[in-house]
Amino acid sequence: MTSNTNNTTNTITRTGGNHRMSQVVRHDNTLYLAGQVADKVDVGIGGQTEEVLAKIDRLLAAHGSHKERILSCQIYLADMRHFAEMNAVWDQWVAPGHAPARATLEARLASPAKLIEICLVASAELNG
């Protein structure tokens, strides 16, 4: 974990990742999650979506947040024909009354076996 502090009201903390990227960047009480992808690629879009959402749940919890505090979300699908099936999983996961601002795009992902990538911004407790 690295921390850069400019003053007491402008703290940036980076966790996870490597020299190229951080898994989570926290600026005061705002969390920026890197794109999350599935490790299991033989489970179809439904299974990959479930795995990615579970990763997001864990990352948010580890940083003092939860899905009810998601502000915005970008979903990248390798094929927009997976939109309905992905949404079926998403709709079961998203907290009722707490749907974030969201965009869903078709994109060529870094690995052809990956069908979905999700990145988001969420709010966290100041001391979380």
Residue in 75, 52, 59 with CA at minimum distance from that of residue 17: 59
- In angstroms, how far is CA 47 from the centroid of its own chain? 16
pLDDT at 44: 97
pLDDT at 120: 98
- The rounded distance, in Å, linking the Cα atoms of 100 and 74 is 10
Q: Is 80 exceeded by the pLDDT of residue 94?
A: yes
Q: Is 90 exceeded by the pLDDT of residue 8?
A: no
- The rounded distance, in Å, linking the Cα atoms of 123 and 112 is 32
Residue 125's pLDDT band (boundaries 50, 70, 90)? confident
pLDDT at 7: 52
- Per the CB < 8 A criterion, the answer to whether 50 and 89 are in contact is yes
Q: Is 70 exceeded by the pLDDT of residue 99?
A: yes
Q: Is 60 exceeded by the pLDDT of residue 77?
A: yes
Q: For CA atoms 52, 56, 62, 67, give the dihedral sign.
A: negative
- The rounded distance, in Å, linking the Cα atoms of 39 and 67 is 21
Residue in 53, 49, 72, 50 with CA at minimum distance from that of residue 61: 53
Residue pLDDT, tens place only, 34-74 = 999 999 999 999 999 999 999 999 999 999 999 999 999 99
